[in-house]
Chain A
């Protein structure tokens, strides 16, 4: 109907343009502001087995409770954020329920619901890992991003990219590491690492002398992977680098870093 009226009203190009813009904004708002409408069958349904299920307005303990679902009633689980589940009652009320309460619900056939808890076992057996670390690289600041792939619970291969920000020069560094964990099932798991790569350094623009250069590096190090919560781990490590310069002497650099990572 509205489309018809737009096409029949004689308008200047300016007006048509703004009408299109309004339409576009309306469509975008429609997409973002309306709740996703999907078939009810697409959601997991659970039955309240405890005396009641408390619904909060938001995914956090601080958000107020505004509704209670009675025992025996069913709710659909619309989505999950951190340890909170957005559920919808039969009457259409939507609210957030924490994991502790959701674990006390039952499937329609009476069985317990498995919410796929992530724990220490996944920390040990995960295949992929992605993290960021920061620290000190021979007196300069260093920020690193790495990705790792586990060949088995003990051995993994990692690819590192780092930016080095110093007082006199800046640089980039890339390396490939092999990491060995002797006790991968420990919550605080020590590791040993070996690697090789390349470092690119450029002197700061305020320093006149010096030129850009690229050198090969080799390093050895060790550290700890510490399981924190869910898919989250903390990591602290020390590495000793040898920079194979084109001059007569090789440089040795010590590096200390801490950071966090996810496994999946």
Chain B
């Protein structure tokens, strides 16, 4: 008896299945059928009816490098202050970070000891020539605009730099750490004026015991982006 009911239910179930399948969308159950695929892929704004020509897009001019020179004053510890000249090459990695190489030259004067003692000289004249090169990492801060009068606005920003290099002074190459702050004033998008203050630190043992000399430099510069 029981098995006969089971067979009956099975038969009813088998017959009703295709019917359910056919009517399932009538009640909104199940998946809607996908619309027929459009002839145009999505994102295609213009239907290309004409034969496409190969157009060479002009390359975009990249101006990530900044090159220029500077003139200022450098104080060499114990040897007085003198004019400093230099050149700078920077590569802008992101809008914040840049890497920079600088090379400059200045000249040391007489120490107080040399002036007071009269004739005695600690180093020769050629050894008083100071030349340095440094590799720095810089970070741009406080970007904004400077207004000159009512109708003119110029871009400007400050930047911090720190790096290391080598200084030749008093007959030796000296490992040098330098850091500082600079101000960049952009005359146009590709031409800038700079005002920089830097401290060059190196060890020197010329006057008996070894000490770390602070050599402060302030300079005005002019750079061009390319």
Q: A residues engaging B (CB < 8 A)?
A: 32-33, 35, 41-44, 57-64, 77-86, 94, 106-107, 109-110, 112, 115, 132, 134, 141, 143, 163, 165, 167, 170, 204-206, 229-230, 232, 260, 262
Which 10 A-B pairs give the minimum distances between C-beta atoms? A62-B143, A165-B175, A205-B171, A110-B45, A58-B155, A141-B175, A79-B61, A110-B46, A60-B95, A60-B143
Q: Determine if B216 is an interface residue (Cβ-Cβ < 8 Å).
A: no
Residues of A within 8 A of B93 (CB): 82, 229-230, 232
Q: How many chain B residues touch the partner (CB < 8 A)? A: 50
Cβ of A81 and Cβ of B175 under 8 Å apart?
no
Q: Determine if B64 is an interface residue (Cβ-Cβ < 8 Å).
A: yes
Cβ of A79 and Cβ of B60 under 8 Å apart?
yes
> 11 interchain pairs (CB within 8 A)?
A60-B140, A61-B143, A62-B143, A80-B62, A81-B62, A82-B93, A167-B203, A170-B173, A205-B172, A229-B93, A230-B93
User: A106 CA to B45 CA in the complex, in Å?
Assistant: 10
Binary A-proximity of B88-110 (CB < 8 A = 1, otherwise 0): 00011111100100000000000
Residues of A within 8 A of B186 (CB): 58
Cβ of A63 and Cβ of B187 under 8 Å apart?
no
Which chain A residue shows the least CB distance to B204?
A: A206
Are A143 and B60 CB-contacts (below 8 A) given A63-B144, A205-B170?
A: no
Are A43 and B58 CB-contacts (below 8 A) given A57-B145, A82-B94, A165-B174?
A: yes
Contact of B143 among A44, A63, A141 (CB under 8 A): A63
Which residues in window 52-76 of B have CB below 8 A to A?
A: 52, 55, 57-64
Residue among A35, A41, A57, A86 with max Cβ neighbours from chain B (10 Å): A57
User: A81 CA to B94 CA in the complex, in Å?
Assistant: 8
Q: Determine if B44 is an interface residue (Cβ-Cβ < 8 Å).
A: yes
Cβ of B57 and Cβ of A44 under 8 Å apart?
yes
Which residues in window 33-58 of B have CB below 8 A to A?
A: 43-46, 52, 55, 57-58
Q: Determine if B213 is an interface residue (Cβ-Cβ < 8 Å).
A: no
Which chain A residue shows the least CB distance to B165?
A: A143
Known contacts A60-B96, A94-B189, then 13 further A-B pairs from the complex at CB < 8 Å, ordered by chain A residue: A32-B224, A58-B145, A59-B189, A61-B95, A62-B142, A62-B144, A62-B157, A64-B144, A81-B62, A84-B95, A107-B57, A110-B44, A143-B165
Cβ of B95 and Cβ of A163 under 8 Å apart?
no
User: A156 CA to B200 CA in the complex, in Å?
Assistant: 36
Contact of B63 among A62, A79, A206, A260 (CB under 8 A): A79
Q: Determine if B23 is an interface residue (Cβ-Cβ < 8 Å).
A: no
User: A32 CA to B52 CA in the complex, in Å?
Assistant: 41
Cβ of B172 and Cβ of A204 under 8 Å apart?
yes
Cβ of A163 and Cβ of B57 under 8 Å apart?
no
Cβ of A83 and Cβ of B95 under 8 Å apart?
yes
User: A110 CA to B142 CA in the complex, in Å?
Assistant: 38
Which chain B residue shows the least CB distance to A262?
A: B91
Which chain B residue shows the least CB distance to A231?
A: B93
User: A115 CA to B188 CA in the complex, in Å?
Assistant: 24
Residues of A within 8 A of B190 (CB): 32
Residues of B within 8 A of A143 (CB): 135, 164-166, 175
Residues of B within 8 A of A43 (CB): 58
Residues of B within 8 A of A80 (CB): 60-64
Q: Determine if B205 is an interface residue (Cβ-Cβ < 8 Å).
A: yes
Residue among B59, B60, B171, B174 with max Cβ neighbours from chain A (10 Å): B60
User: A230 CA to B135 CA in the complex, in Å?
Assistant: 20
Cβ of B143 and Cβ of A58 under 8 Å apart?
yes
Binary A-proximity of B201-222 (CB < 8 A = 1, otherwise 0): 0010110000000000000000
